[in-house]
Amino acid sequence: MNVPVSEAVAVVEALGVTKRFGSTAALNDVSIRVMPGESHALVGRNGAGKSTLVSILTGLRKPDIGEVQFAGTAAPVIADRDAWRERVACVYQHSTIIRDLTVAENLFINRQPQRRGVIDWSVMRRDARALLDHWKIDVREDARAGDLTVEARQLVEIARALSYGARFIILDEPTAQLDGDEIKRLFRRIDELQREGVTFLFISHHLQEVYEICQAVTVLRDARHIVSAPVSALPREQLIEAMTGERGGLAVADAAGRAALPAGTPVALELAGLCGGDYEDVSFTLKRGEVIGLTGATSSGRTSVAEAIAGLRRPQRGEIRVDGTVLPPGDVPAALARGIGCVPKDRHHEGLVLTQSVAENASMTIARMLGRFGIATPAKKNAFGQKMIEALGIVAPGPDHVVSGLSGGNQQKVVMARALATDPDVLVLIDPTAGVDVKSKEALLAVVHRVREEGKAVLVVSGELDDLRTCDRVLVMFRGRIAAEFPAGWQDHDLIASVEGVSLHEE
């Protein structure tokens, strides 16, 4: 017989939790209750308090006020890490798997079975195989972790958490680096694990995923708890209103109502027969004042094409022309000099120096313009940084603030500032709104509209439909080739079907 939800004991419960860092309240009287066997979404804008709450639920931080309970019992003391591992684990957006170790070594790291003081490798591999088989995870125990797909590494992390005895797993942006098929498989595994008694806290900026996989949702805004409700009782517009405090959905300029470019508008960027490791014979032109979307599955080659344009990858064959002049392949300084600005895919490893300030990151590509011999004074850097803070709405105490202390959305705005610093003629944006909240997404996409009106050419490389709605036309890549083109005004189902390699209009 099912126990009524009101009488069931929560797997985890935070009660009136407050956490401050100096004068800043990261959490203010926040409560959340996650019930057994459910997937419970935790959503909110960057800076809403999600990360701080996760750090408290996983025992990495102690609340100033309030408490955490597991199954109705007070949480262990912070120092008892083994007791926390038995109750909860977090699979973070940036994997904690050690890539140069095997799957088995990762599963039993720091607790390897030993015999006479020496690691018993055969027992460890046997136990790893048994663990993977039990949870139906199809990877080899002796495989190098770095050779696994992102999807497989996530499942290995989940298996490691379950091996400690934890049946409450926090998934932090689990789909951020997955394509459509991988997301479907992950969701199937989550559903199967739920039926086996595993409970999930699901953190995502992809609101559609909340409706696909979760049964309940909690919204945080400005460090406070706004609402907890069944997903079925909270329509998308109400969810966005709870997250932002404003009515209505995402305010993005849709290109469908945009006037056509005048005849004879010059071409800013041309690709001719471009070939690389995962793409072949890619050709298209991008005019001044035009926004083109380039989409496809993660494995379609779209990111590699964009990185080739920005000089981050060297194509094997073909040409890239900027204003009619051939661009030297695989040469970032040459791409910058020819007027190409880029927001790279991975802001933490390619877009930012996390230990440096907003001003230093924003001015990185123009230091030679700010001072003699390429050396700019701190005052000039800070002046430029402040200009970009005001232009892009970056929420930071000042231009000298270290970017590692900013929310994800504001970090991405700093990456955008760096791309715009050289006043580029062609702007290449790779997954520009990945992992950012609704309001940051609006601000970043508003930049696309603004620079287009200035006559710049923009290439938006993304799998996000909201990003692609800003485009005059969208090119779909499938298995390394451009397979379809959609003018502005496309229907979601048609574009998604094309990305998946399916035609909805075949006779």
Low-confidence stretches of the chain (pLDDT beneath 70):
1-7, 46, 179-180, 246-253, 367-375, 500, 502-507
What is the residue extent of each domain of the chain? 12-97+148-244, 259-338+426-432+463-506, 340-421
Interatomic CA distance for residues 177 and 184, integer angstroms: 13
Pick one of 3.30.365.10, 3.40.1710.10, 3.40.50.300, 3.40.50.720 as the CATH number of 259-338+426-432+463-506.
3.40.50.300
Domains 12-97+148-244 and 259-338+426-432+463-506 alike in fold: yes
pLDDT at 25: 87
Q: Report the pLDDT value the prediction gives residue 251, as an integer from 0 to 100.
A: 63
Predicted local confidence at residue 506, as pLDDT: 46
pLDDT for 207: 79
Do 365 and 17 form a contact (C-beta atoms < 8 A)?
A: no
pTM of the model: 0.65
Q: How many residues does the chain have?
A: 507
> Any idea which fold 12-97+148-244 has?
Rossmann fold (3.40.50)
Print burial letters for 445-459: b (CB count within 10 Å at least 16), e (below 16). Answer: bbbbeebbeeebbbb
Three-state SS for 16?
strand
- The CATH class of 340-421 is alpha beta
Rounded-to-5 percentages of helix, strand, coil across the chain: 35, 25, 40
